[in-house]
Structure 1
Amino acid sequence: MIGLFLGSTDFPKIILNKIKKEKKKYFIIDLTINNDFKKNKNSYFISIGQFGKILSVIKENQCNKVLFAGKIIKPKISSLKLDFKGLYYIPRIIKASKLGDAAILKELIKILSEHNIKVIKSNFYNPELTLPKGNYTKIKPSKKELIEIKKGINSLNKLNAYNHTQALIIRNNSIIAKENSKGTKKMIQSIIKVKNNKGILIKFPKKKQDLRADLPTIGLDTLKDCKKANLKGVVLKCNQNIFMDKIKCINFADKNEIFIKVI
């Protein structure tokens, strides 16, 4: 039995489809805002502050391992429904929330481990959604662009552990945009398009990010945004990015002369 803590985005749905296909026993802790999994009979729509209820569901299902996937929106502490266990743990969640979404996930994982519940990697059932090192398109980055990419990666590595930034755009050897709490899409949309001076999107896990629960994700929409912004390449981290619609993305990138490089 596997417990699925699922948030929004398409990634959780892909995991769920794979688990159903393999006929694994599962239940869902639905952490979406709109109760996205309400049609699933094995789903429980529970506030993140109701730890007693969450732990009871896990125990009732005789489960000792769980998986986190999808975007879990940072909750408004003042509006959380709390049970007795929630009241006990909420000071830790409040403290973590001040450091960002990644810190909240880390604290949840820590709380679960205190109850002998293991958290497995979000891509455990879908290893095909991450990519090994290599160049996945017909076009490859030039030597000059490889130097730019190295500079961008060094910039990401200098950020503190709880910074929101998972991505940046480098153009003409200068960092022109960094992701904030609004996400990668908003960052790409924010840059000024320059016809003859294309940039490169680099998207890596945050520094000290818990890779069991919070892998950065890109898909076809990301590639389409890159085209609109006149970007010439996307750089990902080896086996540490969820890559949705892989074949469609590679075909789109080839057609629009965008390289996809995994380092």
Structure 2
Amino acid sequence: MKKIIILAGNGLLPKLIINKCKLKKIFFYVLYFSNQQYLEKYPNALKVTFGNVLTELKKLRKKGFNQILMAGSISRPNFKDLKPDLNSIKLLPKFVKKIMEGGDNNLLKLVINELERFGFKILNLKTFLPEIFLGIGNQTKFKPSRSNLLDINKGMKILINNSKFDIGQSIIIQHGSVIGIEAAQGTDNLIKQSYPYLRGINQGVLIKMVKKKQDSRVDLPTIGLKTVKNLKKYSLRGVAYSANKTIILNKIDVINYCESNKIFLFGL
């Protein structure tokens, strides 16, 4: 029987993976990094820290778990909270070096490389849970205008160029003007913070894209119901996303909300 470890962060995604494992009768074990009440009841789940996760992974490896799915948002660790055990302390110099270099890609590449070195296979979420992705083109009956398409094209070019700096996956543009670029604040705060700088309503566009050369097994851009509700609340016309590479949580609800509120959902 296939045995999968779910390295779980915050959000809905780990729940969806657990449900899929149950449906497919896949034996799973969850290692989670923050307080998750729904996981506390599972006998096959354990809360871990960055300091002891490697030890727990090695224990599971001995029990036949050799595949990993990484899901959900995980905050960067604070140096003073690391408290590495004997297994993790060997990796501490590499880990600290990548944190100091900044950016998520550097850190995630290190994590993946080390996990593979220990004999784990990192699974691709697109293969395991294809139903949470959307394809190319319009996903609602509301299409981006010519002006929106020009903004989308400009946003794509900026995000592709910014990939080398590893600074974010989202940008908001209105009539050719860059209103805001995502950094550490996240997409929802980007939308909120950009609102005072918009000229008129329902004209700005959110563009979310994978970074150039990004490993598709981790940290994919994500759109959820909260995201599209914020588009409506803060007067944005719609969102363009990387087709087949962007996680759409509550996909049916997201599409229905966009339809009801005249928001476009456009795959690139």
Q: TM-score by structure 2 length?
A: 0.92
After superposition, the Cα gap between the structure-2 partners of 1:130 and 1:15, relative to the gap in structure 1 and judged at 3 Å, is same
Question: Among 130, 134, 151, which residue is 2:154 paired with?
Answer: 151
Question: Among 196, 200, 223, which residue is 1:218 paired with?
Answer: 223
Question: Among 237, 241, 244, which residue is 1:236 paired with?
Answer: 241
Contact persistence 1:51–1:83 (CA under 8 A) = no
SS at match of 1:202: strand
Name the CA distance, whole Å, in 2 between partners of 1:160 and 1:123.
21
Q: Which sits farther off after the overlay, 90-99 or 151-160?
A: 90-99
After superposition, the Cα gap between the structure-2 partners of 1:110 and 1:162, relative to the gap in structure 1 and judged at 3 Å, is farther
Q: TM-score by structure 1 length?
A: 0.94
Structure 1: which 4+ aligned runs deviate by more than 3 Å? 193-197
Q: Does 1:132 align with 2:135?
A: yes
Where in structure 1 are there 5+ consecutive unaligned residues? none
Please tell me the residue identity of whatever aligns with 2:90. Y
Deviation readout 1:193-232 (Å, 9 max, x if unpaired)? 5434620000112333221011111111111100111111
User: Percent identical across equivalent pairs?
Assistant: 34
Deviation readout 1:140-190 (Å, 9 max, x if unpaired)? 112332122111100001114352311010101111101111100000000
Aligned residue number for residue 195 of structure 1: 200
Question: Among 46, 67, 70, which residue is 1:65 paired with?
Answer: 67
How far has the Cα of 1:29 moved from its partner? 1.3
SS at match of 1:124: helix
Contact persistence 2:173–2:206 (CA under 8 A) = yes
Contact persistence 1:167–1:184 (CA under 8 A) = yes
Name the CA distance, whole Å, in 2 between partners of 1:196 and 1:179.
21
After superposition, the Cα gap between the structure-2 partners of 1:40 and 1:162, relative to the gap in structure 1 and judged at 3 Å, is farther
How far has the Cα of 1:18 moved from its partner? 1.2
Contact persistence 1:171–1:197 (CA under 8 A) = no
Contact persistence 2:17–2:129 (CA under 8 A) = yes
Please tell me the residue identity of whatever aligns with 1:137. T
How far has the Cα of 1:20 moved from its partner? 1.2
Q: Does 1:142 align with 2:145?
A: yes
Aligned residue number for residue 167 of structure 1: 170
Name the CA distance, whole Å, in 2 between partners of 1:18 and 1:177.
36
Aligned residue number for residue 207 of structure 1: 212
Q: Does 1:107 align with 2:110?
A: yes
How far has the Cα of 1:262 moved from its partner? 0.2
Name the CA distance, whole Å, in 2 between partners of 1:16 and 1:196.
40
RMSD: 1.6
Name the CA distance, whole Å, in 2 between partners of 1:221 and 1:71.
15
Written as runs of structure 1 = structure 2, the 5 A alignment for 1:76-115 is 76-98=78-100, 99-115=102-118
How far has the Cα of 1:35 moved from its partner? 4.6
- Residue correspondences, number: 262
Contact persistence 2:147–2:175 (CA under 8 A) = no
How far has the Cα of 1:84 moved from its partner? 1.2
How far has the Cα of 1:57 moved from its partner? 2.4
